[in-house]
Amino acid sequence: MVNFWFSAFKPVILTIEILAVAVGLATVFGFLGKLWWGFELLDHLRLQYVWVLVLVLVMNAFVRHRWVWVLGIPLGLNLALILPLFWHPISIKNLPTENTLRILHVNLDRDNSQFHRAIDYIRSQDVDIVFLQEVTPTGFDRLKSDLSQYRVILSRPQTNSQGVAMLVPATPSGAIELLNPPEIIHLPDRSERPLITATIRWQGREVKVLSLHTTRPRNAGTSQFQQREFDEVARWSRQQQDNGYPVIILGDFNNTPWSGRSRQFLRSGNLIDSQRGFGLQPTWMAGLPFPLQISIDRCVYSRQIGTVNRKIGSAIGSDHLPLWVELTQIP
């Protein structure tokens, strides 16, 4: 029977096994991102590595090539990084569900040719704060005219991918209070990318909120600059917490929760990932099948905060899917 399976599908089996070996090597090289920026990119495809390695190991139950079982090692390494996303750090049943904070993050995609879908989606959401990224001047005009139930608090539309805006309901829910006008900051200072930060009063506490959009790593220079951005945001997070403020940071991180860079960022910033306990929830690329997508639109926060609910929105014509989170404070 083994010889039959191998003879009948030999070209396919050999191709898949070669791919699996490459995936095994990529698994290891992904841990070496500090040595070369290309290795750091390999760190983000661990979910795809799992699909390939599981396929090969299942196939090997019929083919029975002994050496293939060695691929269980890289499979275990990848699963060790991904599976914690399915375990909530705090039992959701123990989290308060009154006066929660609902935030919507949407990367509109500056080249979005179906902008009406984004408008329709945002209009359908009942949230306390909306953060928008890749806001162009043309898109901003449509937002102002077509989203009457929201009002723009701060905006900086741009023709590149760095335009931003913050919206709140025209009729506030009363869950939060904006204490000061939101501001545009730059992290690091020499960055051209505008980031919106706001101070809100929520459940009796003053909380700092930051809409983050980091540089997409396309080469050694941009990868190094993204690392600098994460370092500066982590420093900002610690400073706010040292001053007694809980923090919430969300947006297009251009980085996955299982990457070494992301894990270092969480440790340095004393932050927790809202995705813990909610599984994979990929957001990019929106046009690809689920197994090929990765999670780069994210929300993290300080330890005084927990996630009651977290959802990925429907397709809006962007290459990103929206991120919706409902947060509470931990007594």
pLDDT at 94 (0 to 100) = 72
What whole-number distance in Å separates Cα of residue 226 and Cα of residue 233?
11
Residue 105: strand pairing partners: 131, 323
Backbone angles phi and psi of 113, in degrees to 5: -95, 0
- What's residue 7's pLDDT? 58
DSSP 315-329: --SSSB--EEEEEEE
Task: Specify the pLDDT at position 118.
Answer: 97
DSSP 215: P
Determine if residue 176 is left, alpha or beta; phi over 0 gives left, psi from -120 to 50 gives alpha, anything else beta: beta
For the chain (331 residues), the mean pLDDT of every run of 10, in chain order, is 54 76 96 97 98 86 71 96 91 76 98 96 96 97 93 97 97 89 97 98 96 98 98 99 98 98 98 96 97 98 96 98 97 78
156 and 81 belong to one structural domain: no
Residues 139 and 246 in one domain: yes
Examine the fold and report which residue of 85, 107, 133 is the final residue of a domain before the chain moves on: 85
Q: Name the residue among 284, 260, 268, 282 with its Cα closest to residue 39.
A: 260
pLDDT for residue 263:
98
pLDDT at 93: 65
Sequence letter at residue 307: T
**Alpha helix locations (H) across the chain?**
2-8, 10-29, 37-42, 46-63, 72-82, 115-124, 137-146, 220-242, 260-269
Q: Same domain for 133 and 66?
A: no
Q: Which residues of 128-145 are buried (b: 16+ CB within 10 A; e: fewer)?
A: bbbbbbbbbeebbeebee
Judge if 71 and 118 occupy the same domain: no
49/177 same-domain check: no
DSSP code string of 160-189: STT-EEEEEESS--SSEEE-S--EEE-SST
Domain range for 11 is 2-85
Q: In this structure, how many other beta carbons lie within 10 angstroms of the beta carbon of residue 18?
A: 10
Query: Looking at the structure, do residues 178 and 277 belong to the same domain, yes or no?
Result: yes
CATH assignment at residue 167: 3.60.10.10
Q: Do 127 and 215 fall within a single domain?
A: yes
**74 and 113 both lie in a single domain:** no
Cis peptide before 11 (omega within 30 of 0): no
Our CA angle for 127, 288, 313, nearest 5°, is 10
Q: Which of 85, 102, 131 is the last residue of a domain?
A: 85
Q: Write phi, then psi, for 100 (nearest 5 degrees).
A: -75, 165
- Cα(47)–Cα(45) distance, rounded to whole angstroms? 6
User: What domain count does the chain have?
Assistant: 2
- Domain boundary (33, 65, 85) is at 85
Residues 266, 203 share a domain: yes
Q: Are 226 and 214 in contact (CB under 8 A)?
A: yes
Tell me, what's the pLDDT at 70? 87
- Kindly report the pTM of this predicted structure: 0.94
> Nearest-5° angle of CA 234, CA 236, CA 239?
110
256 shares its domain with 169 = yes
Nearest to 184 by CA among 145, 262, 131: 131
Q: Does 96 share its domain with 81?
A: no
Predicted pLDDT at 1: 44
230-249 tens-digit pLDDT: 999 999 999 999 999 999 99
User: Are residue 99 and residue 78 in the same domain, yes or no?
Assistant: no
